[in-house]
Amino acid sequence: MLTAVLDELYMWPFANAIRAQASAAMCSYNRVNGSYACQNSKLLNGLLKEELGFQGYVMTDWSGLHSGVASAQAGTDMDQPGHIEPMTTLLNQTRLSSYFGGNITLAVRNGTFPESRLDDMIKRIMTPYYALRQDQDFPATDPAMAYYNTQFSSSNYSMDSFVFGEKSRDVRQDHGGRIRQHAAESTVMLKNTNGTLPLKAPTSIAIFGSDAAPNTQGPFIRGPSEIGTLAIGGGSGNGRFTYLVSPLEAIKARAVQDNTLVQFWLNNTVIKDANVESLWGATAPEACLVFLKSRASERLDRESLAVDQHGDTVVESVASKCSNTIVVTHSGGMTIMPWADHPNVTAILAAHYPGQESGHSIVDILYGAKSPSGKLPYTVPLNASSVNTAPTTNITTSGVDDWQSWYSEGLEIDYRYYHTHKIPVQYEFGFGLSYTNFSMASLRVKPTHPEARILSQPEALATRPGGNPALWDVLFEAEVTLQNTGSTSGATVAQLYISFPDEVSAPSLQLRGFEKTYLSPGESYTATFPLMRRDLSYWNVTQQTWLIPEGDFILRVGFSSLDLHDSVVLRPVEE
């Protein structure tokens, strides 16, 4: 991977987090330029700790460590979960061997690992503990969570010595309402032909797809489930629901209010092979709702960009007979939609992983209690062959190229690639419809210090968390006026994009700011985008520094990466 790609793309969010005083960073499973990320000194020591001024500790992803002293010297401070494999001691008790632990102690004693580095590791781990005041009235570990995590320790390990208090504490407060609100607001409406949505008290509806149903294996699912809604991703980062409202349950409850007839078929295998007209009888439903899912989990990358369980065929089967087919997808990321332009597919909602209020949140959107306001954080391509990134290799094998991400796409990820090469897409980055309409006009930009001359190279200030403080100086402010021109209240997201001068090798369009605002009918709002020095800079690999290039920048503002409404030219550095 080139250093420009690291600095201009992958380090960018790390700089934000470190500047916000993040106390820990995790090194990943994959190799970067041939070296495991947790054993890559350039990444951890050179970029993270030196260039970005990170003062916290680096922990591994679980079982992401492949060496002891070499990884510690490269910048890894904590090994998680801390073991390699079980072994039996002379006392016939199960213990866990470790790349760190006793091996670090041995290395210090025999002089192969400096004690000063061990001290640094300890300081980095313990300093956040006190900086975050975890030693002062900090909530104790819930015993239920502690015992749940014994899966990463030996079977006879007891936590009774340091885990006290009530088990499975109820800390929910109003979380259910917040989850419902967030899930509804993040739902992206991709299609809505002739005002299909919101639904208006239909006399009959039909529900199709296994994703609509309650989960037959319970609310916490470790593996693929044939029948059941998908409301959260898999892996150790997911959680146990305190309850889970399925789309079928919520829609049936709403149907009672409208005296709506509800029919449902939840077996995808049956639906894809059926003549759906024979399922619902003589009279076709006013609306057919198809629920699709695509499961994603850590360490198990998706093998396809299609939805799971014959979902595409299910949509084709239903849409072939139902002239008002509404599709809802639950997925952790982008899925291709070969049926998106089908004339009988009248509406599409990408609801992602909504959490425990899944059913209620989608009913809020379907029936208009909430206006959709989510925007796509990725591009939906026309087909899988349009994607320019190679799939990651298997991390459970040991081939010479396994665990390696090549980053051959450089800076051209997602919309940057499609826009630069003018590749048509199904739905672009930043896209999302609403039940109301918005206008955008009068983009203007002004310097924050009109009297100051802007230099190409930043002042060489002492590094602080986040890097050189000069890179965070706000040099300009862009403003644009938004107005709700429709008849209902709703929210939209103004998006600011930048194009660098032609002399710089960069994608033709790059997002530099966004702001979401809620507006009543006729209401206006001025969105403001601060432009920092780093927003206008590129990483010069020859000089190994950030530079603002000479020439004209173009600032564009719009509602998506393709729906751009106004632009201005900016020349920050005079020749």
Give catalytic residues, as residue numbers: 61
- Backbone dihedral angles phi then psi of residue 549, each to the nearest 5 degrees: -75, 155
Cα 45 to Cα 74: distance, rounded to the nearest angstrom = 6
The answer for residues whose C-beta is within 8 angstroms of residue 129's C-beta and 6 or more apart is 135
Mark out the alpha helices in 298-345 (DSSP H runs): 311-319
**Cα 337 from chain centre:** 20
Letter string b/e over residues 400-435, b meaning 16 or more CB atoms within 10 A of that residue's CB: eeebbbebebbbbbbbbbbbeeeeebbbbbbbbbbb
Q: State how far the alpha carbon of 242 is from the alpha carbons of 137, 183, 186, in Å.
A: 27, 16, 21
Q: State how far the alpha carbon of 130 is from the alpha carbons of 117, 135, 164, 364, 466, in Å.
A: 20, 6, 21, 43, 21
**Cα 406 from chain centre:** 21
Q: Which SS3 state, helix, strand or coil, does residue 410 take?
A: coil
Cα 455 to Cα 548: distance, rounded to the nearest angstrom = 8
Residue 22, token pair as written in the block: 């993040």
Q: State how far the alpha carbon of 81 is from the alpha carbons of 415, 455, 530, 574, in Å.
A: 37, 48, 41, 54
C-beta separation of 225 from 281 below 8 A:
no
